[in-house]
Amino acid sequence: MVEKIQWDDRYAIGIERIDAQHRKIIGLINRLVDLSGVTTDSTLIEDTLNEMTIYATEHLDDEERLLERCGYPHLDEHAAAHKEFRKCTALLCYSVVEGRVVVPEEILTFLCHWWSAHILHDDMAYRDHVTTGCGVAAEGLASDGSGSPRR
Ligand SMILES: [Fe+2]
Ligand SMILES: [Fe+2]
């Protein structure tokens, strides 16, 4: 059984909207882990995987817009890491739909490892820049989904 990601303070970037998105993505991944243990209903797994993929993609776009607005100097590398996730996930979804992945454990392991490592290292790396470097207090970020800090 794949180990679920347990949210704790280590994962908190300190930007409310981003943290909420990360929590939701982790929740969806954990639901996938639960499903894999109790159901052979591939449609249910497929639907949840799709929901996670769509939500995660929206988050990655939102985060990239935020980093762009804040002039984050490592945006290109960060966006490249996101791109890698998008590419792998698209392939994984395709594999599930095609029934090529008999045991979705490799998918779950990939998802858990990718998100855990990405939040703890890559996302945490922009924290100071966004919350202090670009003069935007965490609570001052727009909540309209635009990724635009309020001025
Ligand atoms: Fe990121
Ligand atoms: Fe993120």
Q: What average pLDDT is seen over the chain?
A: 83
Which residues on neighbouring strands pair with residue 149, listed in sequence order?
A: 141
Ligand 1 centroid to Cα of residue 12, in Å, is 13
Residues 62/145, Cβ–Cβ less than 8 Å: yes
Distance CA 14, CA 43 (A): 36
Ligand nearest to the CA of 84: 1
pLDDT band at 141 (very low <50, low <70, confident <90, very high): low
What residue ranges do the domains of the chain occupy? 13-140
Question: What tens digit of pLDDT does each residue of 58-104 get?
Answer: 999 999 999 999 999 999 999 999 999 998 888 777 777 776 655 46
Q: What is the CATH number of domain 13-140?
A: 1.20.120.50
Confidence (pLDDT) at 139: 44
Residues whose CB falls within 8 Å of the CB of residue 106, separated by 6 or more in sequence, listed in order:
none
Ligand 2 centroid to Cα of residue 60, in Å, is 6
Ligand 2 centroid to Cα of residue 100, in Å, is 29
Confidence (pLDDT) at 146: 44
Ligand 2 centroid to Cα of residue 59, in Å, is 7
Lowest mean pLDDT, pick from 34-43, 85-94, 103-112, 137-146: 137-146
Which residues on neighbouring strands pair with residue 141, listed in sequence order?
A: 149
